[in-house]
Amino acid sequence: MKKLLLVITVIFVQYVSYGQTNKKDSSKVSFYKAYDALKNMLEGKDSLNYEKAVFITENAYHNNYFEYNDFKHLIDLHVEIINDYAEDVREHYKEKYKRLRRFEQQMFGFNTTNWAIFKYITDTAFIIINKDTYHRKPYTYTYQDPYGSNKWENTQVLFLLKSNEMQGNCYSLAVLFKIFADRLKSDARLTITPHHIYIQNRNERGDFYNVELASKSFPGDGTIQTFTYTTSTSIKRGMAQRMLNDKQAVALNLIYLAKSYQHKYNDNTGDFLLQCADLAYKYDTLSLNALLLKAEITENRLLASMKENKVTKLSKVRTNPQTKILLTSYENQLSDLYKFGYREIPKDIERFILAKIQHREDGSIIKDKTPNPFASIKAKQRYATLSNGMFDEIHEAVDSIQYYNALLNTKTKKIIRLLPIETNDNYKVDPVVFALSVDPVVDKYPNISPYAYCAWNPVKLVDPNGESSTNFEDGDGNLISHVEDGSNAVFKLNGTNHTNQSFQFAGFSDQKGTNNINVQGAIAGAQDYAINNYTQCNQAVNFVGKSFESALNATGATAEGIGNVTGNKCADPIGNGLKASNGVKEIDINSINDAKSSAHAGDLVVGYTKGHVTSMTTQDFDITRYDKEGNSSVFKYKGGMIVNVNGGARPRSEYKGLGPNNKNSYQEANQYVHVSTFFSLKRDSQIYFGTSK
């Protein structure tokens, strides 16, 4: 049977093929060959091939001991199993797939494949054949040696694939995911930030999620920024939290080629290291790792020159012919790092992270780093943080900053002190190497997955923006839709038909948000329901109005006098009634912004032209709708939209541009300045809405 054959063959390839004898390259020839091969790819003399680039880079460390054809065959086998996973999910959701639009079908294909890769890397695979169960262990994070300081192979995909431990760091795990994704064409991207590399891939609607393989989690951008000590400046400069294109991904291998050379030959100053850094930077001018490697090499050369020339004082370093050029070069490099927003992780935070990663109890942070913008006047203010004060989340300007063993004056951009090299640390941390995991804190945050439905258990309350949701349910408590607005409110459908239905506030759900009413969210949910279920504009607007009334009453505000609207021709009575009401504000039609501002404040805004009524909101919401099987689709509800429900077949001339004939739609408000009147149904006022008929 095919699956059994695959399992046995994978084991065979891992433990036999890699033990075969190959002709070895002597000395440093393998590194020079790897450099030339990567250079040819980058210069266009050879095709870009990320998988091959990784193999060439890592194989150089092993004196070209392994054969690329064997490596490709091994990847073939893994990919075939992963593809089986993905096909199983697609088969399970084939009916859903048929209902998707072309773009959604493409995203569905990407997402199911990336889920299969994620599951294959992070979870045990069980295969039952003829009542016999075979299993394969998941790949795991190398907690004790994430930087490869003790054993460089811990950073390599080759070691990850062929070792019994099946362990790697964030780099090798992410690279393996990327190799699988490239083979399966699932559009997964390597994303880098200081000290860390991770995967970004799309969910079923095309949004990119962060995928953390070491902790099997999906952290938000803010979490990654906080726990990798990433500054907002480095993000704005494009140096951090940056997706790599194919050429940049290949160029990154040059940094690891240099580091492999450094570890193998204990060479911290050689020309080959600088060659690799320069070539990587040539093809990726935003490469923070290339800049860090060049600075590291320059410092090592400077310290070696100082020792050779017996110069210890900084003042002498600036005048010595052999050291002053190196010092000037080093200062320029550190100044660039500071300008680009790079900050080294402070030693206490570094030790704390390592202790947590390595499951030790000796790491602690003594100083509370909760930012206080009013510290100069000793005022105490509450400030929200992701790390509860453990990490710097605001990177304030400082007079001096440490890079490697140098203390840089941030104003003069001059080194003011060369610090002694620390020799008492238990573990060497290399800022050039991607190694960290957000594992120390991931258990404090919700584990939101871009593959929610792929677990064959559709999750109806996905919250990718970190907010909780206002839920809209039918009379039996089944979820109809939700609006991500930070509220825990629940509204249930009430009424028997389109003349008297509305959403009525029913209490709060047990989510992570706060128990409050988001009126704009209630309006958006009601509008969304009306768009999909109503054909008469008067009845739809009445539905929204009654739902608005319930939301306002739940907040303690007043919304009185809203009557039922029945029949097919009640748009004019609604408009005329609004005009006659003292409790409703008429908005100057020449200023769409007035209407938007009113809606933004939580008021229901109704637009009227003869024969037609609409409602409007300015809030941005992701509205998630559900079918009877629990499958979801998402609509991006953009601000400044009119919710346009068209009822009946009327000549386009009567609509005066108010929307496609016989189609329900959301339309941009700025397109409808010809609407004769906008009305704002204010809070805390007695309002008139519609007529009874």
pLDDT computed for residue 128 by the predictor:
58
Please say which residue of 188, 223, 244 terminates a domain.
188
Assigned domain for 362 exists: yes
User: Has residue 187 got a pLDDT over 60?
Assistant: yes
Please say which residue of 173, 188, 203 terminates a domain.
188
Do 531 and 397 sit in the same domain of this protein? no
> Could you give the angle at which helices 592-600 and 519-533 cross, rounded to 10 degrees?
110
The segment with the largest mean pLDDT, out of 262-271, 376-385, 609-618, is 262-271
Closest CA to 436 of 603, 282, 229, 294: 229
Please say which residue of 188, 221, 252 terminates a domain.
188
Average pLDDT over residues 113-125: 88
Tokens of 334: 């550190």
pLDDT computed for residue 7 by the predictor:
45
pLDDT computed for residue 140 by the predictor:
87
Assigned domain for 253 exists: no
Average pLDDT over residues 609-616: 78
User: Rounded to the nearest 10 degrees, how much is the dihedral formed by the CA atoms of 677, 681, 686, 687?
Assistant: 50
pLDDT computed for residue 369 by the predictor:
63
Do 60 and 170 sit in the same domain of this protein? yes
Sign, CA torsion 66/78/34/140: negative
**Cβ atoms of 271 and 279 closer than 8 Å:** no
Q: Rounded distance, CA 47 to CA 34, Å?
A: 15
Domain that includes residue 559, residue range = 526-689
**Cβ atoms of 85 and 120 closer than 8 Å:** yes
Q: Above pLDDT 70, what percent of the chain?
A: 71
> Could you give the angle at which helices 170-184 and 68-92 cross, rounded to 10 degrees?
70
The lowest-confidence range among 13-22, 247-256, 298-307, 579-588 is 13-22
Average pLDDT over residues 173-188: 96
**pLDDT range class, residue 177, cuts 50, 70, 90:** very high
Taking CA 428 as the corner, what is the angle to CA 425 and CA 434, rounded to the nearest 5 degrees?
145
pLDDT computed for residue 684 by the predictor:
52
Assigned domain for 328 exists: yes
Strand order in the sheet with 665-668: 584-587, 677-681, 604-609, 612-617, 641-644, 665-668
Domain count, the chain: 3
Average pLDDT over residues 270-275: 96
Do 29 and 127 sit in the same domain of this protein? yes
Average pLDDT over residues 321-336: 94
What DSSP designation does 346 have? P
Tokens of 9: 């063959």
pLDDT computed for residue 497 by the predictor:
84
Assigned domain for 10 exists: yes
Q: Above pLDDT 90, what percent of the chain?
A: 32
What DSSP designation does 17 have? G
Q: Between residues 608 and 491, which one has the greater pLDDT? A: 491
Look over the chain and give the mean of its residue pLDDT values, rounded to a whole number. Answer: 77
Tokens of 276: 């690799």
The lowest-confidence range among 16-20, 181-185, 515-519, 535-539 is 16-20
634 sits in which H/E element? strand 632-637
Do 534 and 423 sit in the same domain of this protein? no
Assigned domain for 221 exists: no
**pLDDT range class, residue 448, cuts 50, 70, 90:** very low
pLDDT computed for residue 559 by the predictor:
57
Q: Rounded distance, CA 178 to CA 52, Å?
A: 12
Residue with tokens 């979820």: 479
**Per-residue pLDDT reduced to its tens digit, 480-520:** 888 878 788 899 999 888 878 899 999 887 665 567 788 88
Q: Between residues 6 and 390, which one has the greater pLDDT? A: 390
Assigned domain for 467 exists: no
Q: Between residues 105 and 652, which one has the greater pLDDT? A: 105
Do 41 and 144 sit in the same domain of this protein? yes
Do 159 and 297 sit in the same domain of this protein? no
pLDDT computed for residue 202 by the predictor:
84
**Per-residue pLDDT reduced to its tens digit, 133-142:** 667 788 988 8
Assigned domain for 487 exists: no
Average pLDDT over residues 21-35: 76
pLDDT computed for residue 123 by the predictor:
85
pLDDT computed for residue 669 by the predictor:
61
Assigned domain for 646 exists: yes
pTM: 0.62
